[in-house]
Amino acid sequence: MLLRDLLARETRAPRWRELLPVLRRMEARGEVRGGRFVSGFVGEQFALPEAVDELRAVRRQPAVGGCVIVSAADPLNLVGILVPGQRISPYTQQFIAYEKGAVVAVGDMAELTSRMAGA
């Protein structure tokens, strides 16, 4: 999925105003779909047709508890970009724990690894 706010983390990406006509042409050819797929973001959003189907499937499933833990270097580190909060540098040795799409913890990766090894 692609939306304007997501380009904020990409230093070499084209500007949104340059990318938008290309995305609209791709939509007209059926290569991507345009719309509002994820609430809370302003402007057009684009996704591959398969991604739209997956988003719909996830929406139909009951909510499941539990955390998802990612490294700060992971592309899912969207804190301060798409997710509220202070931006976390991907060059740190930190982890981010998400629960239901919200950040619930940020900490040192080495500490997490040792804690998990001892469990």
Q: Which amino acid is at 90?
A: P
Q: Do 47 and 92 share a structural domain?
A: no
Q: Are the CB atoms for 109 and 71 separated by under 8 Å?
A: yes
Collapse the DSSP code of 54 into the 3-class scheme (helix H, G, I; strand E, B; otherwise coil) and give the result.
helix
Q: Do 87 and 40 share a structural domain?
A: no
Q: Do 81 and 107 share a structural domain?
A: yes
Which class for 5: exposed (0-12), middle (13-18), buried (19 or more C-beta within 10 A)? middle
Domain containing residue 11: 2-60
* pTM for this model (two decimals): 0.64
Average pLDDT, the chain: 85
Q: Do 83 and 39 share a structural domain?
A: no
Q: Do 56 and 15 share a structural domain?
A: yes
61-89 confidence digits (pLDDT tens): 776 778 888 888 887 788 887 777 888 88
Q: Which of 15, 14, 50, 18 is nearest to 32 (CA)?
A: 50
